[in-house]
């Protein structure tokens, strides 16, 4: 059955209010997710937020969210930790690994502060050397040495939309470090936009954002950890459920759930569960191929406009970044928003970024082109 964008758009009220090209920050919220969140708030207000039944509802929402992410990542639920965002996942690995002074971290010059901020603090407090290189396989491989403890980088660059060859990078890192390097991939701009199965990439940890391409509420995310490397990570933020607590006593979890990022709001969990179910029902290979085609159409059309320069991406994704001659990125973004087109400026690199989703249609593309 061919992909029907009209069916998807019917569940996303926000895409009718403007041309929605900003899933790289927040995706449009499905009506089903909003209804689930409202229902949870109404129940909590009318019946109370906790008690034995409330506790069971909370634990049930966590498990449904964990299994929802596991289906999205095509992995067992035991390999998934729940987080509040991709930055949580990055911090879990950065502060869970046993670094020593003089250890090295390799990253790229195009990473989001959600990754670079933890690495900066790691360098400041632990005496770790952080090396940032161009986001290319050869440059990354050349930067890895026997002292490299961590290679941390994005699957899809938030600046240019380029898709990095993470499997090849992981292989090179493992070879050059003698198997010592732990490979962390920031999946903020990949999960929900391109096919992702972390266990097939030969990486060690992979972060997930709930609110971006998966169209869930903010304050949600996940971290996949390879079972073969889980034991290397300490529990960076111990909390109530970091261990199994039952009438039989307190025991250690042997799964990734010991890395859960403390309490996630139940209202957000309710919306996340509904959004993941909706996304799994609506989005298949046909939907992603449709979005890829639309993004390529936008890329070529923008490149033909006078004064517009499209940022090159050797392996392009659904992120399309561009500049407009004579205008700063924030001014272009504000001008487009006034015309009913949501994009965003990327600070530091001064580009405008359009996130082309499976909910966009040709009318959205024409509206963006006209506004530019």
Out of 253, 280, 307, a domain closes at 280
Instruction: Tally the residues of the chain.
Output: 372
* Beta bridge pairs of residue 323: 309
Interatomic CA distance for residues 38 and 197, integer angstroms: 32
120 and 165 share one domain: yes
Q: Where a domain ends, among 280, 300, 317?
A: 280
**pTM of the full predicted structure?**
0.96
Whether residues 215 and 289 share a domain: the answer is no
What residues pair up with 269 in beta bridges, in sequence order? none
Residue 38 lies in a domain: no
- Report the CATH number at residue 340: 3.90.1150.10
Q: What is the pLDDT along the chain (372 residues), one digit of tens a residue?
A: 478 999 999 999 999 999 999 999 999 999 999 999 999 999 988 888 887 787 888 889 999 999 999 999 999 999 999 999 999 999 999 999 999 999 999 999 999 999 999 999 999 999 999 999 999 999 999 999 999 999 999 999 999 999 999 999 999 999 999 999 999 999 999 999 999 999 999 999 999 999 999 999 999 999 999 999 999 999 988 888 888 888 888 888 889 999 999 889 999 999 999 999 999 999 888 999 999 999 999 999 999 999 999 999 999 999 999 999 999 999 999 999 999 999 999 988 999 999 999 999 999 999 999 999
Name the helix (H) or strand (E) containing 186.
strand 182-186
Question: Is residue 37 included in any domain, yes or no?
Answer: no
Q: Please tell me whether residues 154 and 227 are part of one structural domain.
A: yes
CA distance 277 to 64: 10
- Mapping DSSP onto H, E and C, the string for 195-244 reads CCCHHHCCCCEEEEECCCCCCCCCCCEEEEECCCCHHHCCCCCCCCCCEE
DSSP conformational letter for 178 = T
Rg of the chain over CA atoms, in angstroms? 21
223 and 183 in a single domain? The answer is: yes
Determine the structural domain holding residue 297 and report its residue range: 5-29+284-371
Does 67 share its domain with 17? Answer: no
Last residue of a domain, one of 280, 295, 319: 280
CA angle (272 as vertex; 266, 278 as ends), nearest 5: 145
Based on the fold, state whether residues 273 and 294 are members of the same structural domain: no
CA–CA separation, 134 and 153 (whole Å)? 11
Nearest to 358 by CA among 73, 5, 21: 5
Asked if residue 126 and residue 144 are part of one domain, the reply reads yes
CA 353, CA 342: separation in Å to the nearest integer? 10
Q: Are 137 and 265 in a shared domain?
A: yes
């Amino acid at each position: 059955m061919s992909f029907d964008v009209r069916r998807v758009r019917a569940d996303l009220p926000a895409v009718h209010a403007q041309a929605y090209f900003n899933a790289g920050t927040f995706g449009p919220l499905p009506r089903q997710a909003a209804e689930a969140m409202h229902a949870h708030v109404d129940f909590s207000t009318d019946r109370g937020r906790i008690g034995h039944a409330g506790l069971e509802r909370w634990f049930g929402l966590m498990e449904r969210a964990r299994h929802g992410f596991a289906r999205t990542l095509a992995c067992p639920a035991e390999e998934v930790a729940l987080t509040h965002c991709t930055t949580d996942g990055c911090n879990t690995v950065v502060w869970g690994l046993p670094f020593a002074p003089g250890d090295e971290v390799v990253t790229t010059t195009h990473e989001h502060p959600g990754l670079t901020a933890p690495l900066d603090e790691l360098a400041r407090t632990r005496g770790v050397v952080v090396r940032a290189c161009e986001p290319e396989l050869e440059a990354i491989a050349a930067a890895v040495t026997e002292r490299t403890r961590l290679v941390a980088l994005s699957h899809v660059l938030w600046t240019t939309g380029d898709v990095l060859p993470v499997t090849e990078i992981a292989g090179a890192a493992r070879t050059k470090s003698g198997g010592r390097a732990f490979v962390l991939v920031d999946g903020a701009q990949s999960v929900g936009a391109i096919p992702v199965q972390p266990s097939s990439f030969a990486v060690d940890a992979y972060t997930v954002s709930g609110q971006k391409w998966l169209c869930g509420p903010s304050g949600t995310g996940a971290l996949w950890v390879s079972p073969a490397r889980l034991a290397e990570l300490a529990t960076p933020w111990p909390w109530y459920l970091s261990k199994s607590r039952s009438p039989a006593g307190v025991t250690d979890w042997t799964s990734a759930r010991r890395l859960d990022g403390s309490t996630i709001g139940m209202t957000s969990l309710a919306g996340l569960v509904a959004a993941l179910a909706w996304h799994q029902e609506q989005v298949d290979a046909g939907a992603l191929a449709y979005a890829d085609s639309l993004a390529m159409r936008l890329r070529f059309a923008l490149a033909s406009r006078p004064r517009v320069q499209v940022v090159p991406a050797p392996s392009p994704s659904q992120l399309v970044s561009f500049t407009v001659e004579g205008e700063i990125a924030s001014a272009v973004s504000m001008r487009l928003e006034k015309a009913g087109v949501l994009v965003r400026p990327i600070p530091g690199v001064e580009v405008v970024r359009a996130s082309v989703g499976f909910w966009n249609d040709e009318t959205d593309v024409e509206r963006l082109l006209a506004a530019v």
